[in-house]
Structure 1
């Protein structure tokens, strides 16, 4: 497993003394209704399925059974050099689903030892026309590039055969970072698409220019954080990283809020206030449960 991909949480502890200034006009969080929380479940199960044996034939047990009508079109990855991924069509959701596996949470202990978190400009081949000022985590970008073209081809084929322009990218942990990269990748390469993303426990992917690009890309982007998970607060903002808007913070089962703005929310109910440094976090919350659904190989 890639030891660099999430191990930078060690540096997150320093983020307590850096970051954006407190806004003079504090913006309030918005409670998430129980009906909206329940609507996330199919996407959470897709994220769960990426960890499970049998996803390649959609026979992965409960995670696959939860979306039993899913029509798999492409599956790949080895869970090591290439993260597991799949593409297919969900008739019940009327959408093409693109899902990426995260770094296995059981490997996080070894991942914590690596602190290599360089930022780099986006590939001009995969992300044409984007300013070099927009930068993302090198490891995330390299991982995304391994499967980007194959996934893009499968998505375009499904858009034609299923007569839909709706795409939803999903993923947990590293998989969430890859799904975040997907949003801009799809927007640039399929301008006519209606693009959404549902990510879970996602680390910061890029710099403030990247966050602004995601915000301006006309994408329905949601990044869901569970209680005191520490992964969403790393890499630290002092290293030049920032989250885009779209945070939903699960405070307790059945109780969640939508946080305003990018990575500068000052409300105590938002992640960077409730978990100001990694010592206040709980790595077990990274696994979930996300409204009753836990993510990782041990939950297949």
Structure 2
């Protein structure tokens, strides 16, 4: 945790510099936020938060769907795959939720006690997006080097299983795909969602609904990346930031990183608001470095705390 805190603190000091750093092409917004109803939160955000929490439990517990309260909060799930080494490959799982006919892909965030896991975050350079995985991406798209390398370690395994499950409609009828994750897992989930949307949900599968609902999302690429995400996922993407969590403000704008649209912000007073634009000054982009609170990164997100503390196995 100390290593992450030092990195976060150093980058936060830089990212807190004023608006001249927006001269690299980033767009910001001061548009008014819109309150979210509890009904909207319960219908669209709460269950994904629970699935993201479960990604922090051990793969053995996830395979058996026996991880205590987190697994009990979303019962009767059929697990198709649970894997990862909690290091180079953060733990992840693919499962089927028969109650909503949804195929779920969920990714764990960074393990602060594993140096290999931390290395996925601190490989900060922008690199061209993989033309193999994302053939439809415009030529100017660049992404976080560490995030893309982490994504590529699992992408073929995940897309193969997703494609097989959707084509065969097994282990049951599938009408929806949900991709979720927290922190590093959120960054991977966004790449997964674009991969699935552009490479799998075509032809006879275009009628399958895709949602990418993530939490504590760091910036994952340049302005062209943010635009590509917006154009590809549109309103199917939502990324929730919690109070004064510094992670959504990293990597900093001055390094040419940019968020896509779709932010939902939990304010310091506990209100839940939708934030128009790619970088809204009324939401996480308006946070002051003086108020940064790393503990906000784990939540709670609508009552759900991320991390393995709630897991019993």
TM-score normalised to structure 1 length: 0.88
Q: For residue 103 of structure 1, what is the aligned residue in structure 2? A: 110
Two-structure CA RMSD over aligned residues (Å):
2.7
Question: Which residue is equivalent to 1:27?
Answer: 31
Query: Are residues 1:292 and 2:303 paired?
Result: yes
8 Å contact kept, 1:10–1:115: no
Q: Distance in 2 between matches of 1:7 and 1:93?
A: 40
The SS at the match of 2:52 is helix
Measured after TM superposition, the shift of residue 131 of structure 1 is 2.4
Provide the residue aligned with 1:12 in structure 2: 12
Q: Distance in 1 between matches of 2:134 and 2:302?
A: 34
Contact 1:9 1:235 in 2 (8 A): no
Work out whether 1:133 is the aligned partner of 2:140: yes
Q: CA deviation at 1:245?
A: 0.5
Instruction: Note the residue ranges of structure 1 that are not aligned, 5 or more in a row.
Output: none
Following TM superposition, by how much is the alpha carbon of 1:280 offset from its aligned partner in structure 2, in angstroms? 2.3
Which of 67, 72, 86 does residue 74 from structure 2 map onto?
A: 67
Q: For residues 7 and 199 of structure 1, do their structure 2 counterparts lie closer, same or farther at Cα, with a shift above 3 Å needed?
A: farther
In structure 2, how many angstroms separate the alpha carbons of the residues matched to 1:31 and 1:55? 34
Distance 1:115 1:155, change over 3 A: closer
Alpha-carbon distance change, 74 to 9 in structure 1, aligned in 2, over 3 angstroms: farther
Shift in CA distance, 240/8, structure 1 to aligned 2, threshold 3 Å = farther
Unaligned 5+ runs, structure 2: none
Alignment-derived partner of residue 101 in structure 2:
94
Q: Are residues 25 and 261 of structure 1, via their aligned partners in 2, closer, same or farther at CA, if it must alter by over 3 Å?
A: closer
Q: Which of the two has greater helix per residue?
A: 2
- How far residue 96 of structure 1 moved from its aligned partner, in angstroms, is 0.9
For this pair of structures, how many residues does the alignment match? 291
1:45-94 deviation line (CA, Å, top 9, x unaligned): 11011111211221111111111121111111011121101111112222
Deviation at 1:266, TM superposition (A): 2.8
SS of the residue 1:297 aligns to: coil
User: 2:181–2:189: 8 Å Cα contact kept in structure 1?
Assistant: yes
Label 1:241 to 1:102 Cα distance change in 2 as closer, same or farther (>3 A): same
Q: Could you say if the C-alpha distance between residues 124 and 47 of structure 1 is closer, same or farther in structure 2, counting changes exceeding 3 Å? A: same
Q: Is the 8 A contact 1:102 1:172 kept in 2?
A: yes
Q: What's the secondary structure of 1:292's corresponding residue?
A: coil
- 1:111-260 to structure 2, matched below 5 A, reads 111=118, 116-159=123-166, 160-161=168-169, 162-190=172-200, 191=202, 192=206, 193-219=208-234, 220-252=236-268, 255-260=271-276
Distance 1:24 1:155, change over 3 A: closer
Give, in angstroms, the shift of residue 129 of structure 1. Answer: 3.2
Contact 2:29 2:278 survives alignment (8 Å): no
For residues 253 and 89 of structure 1, what CA distance do their matches in structure 2 show? 36
- Give SS of 2:93's match: strand
User: Hey, what does 1:266 align to over in structure 2?
Assistant: 281
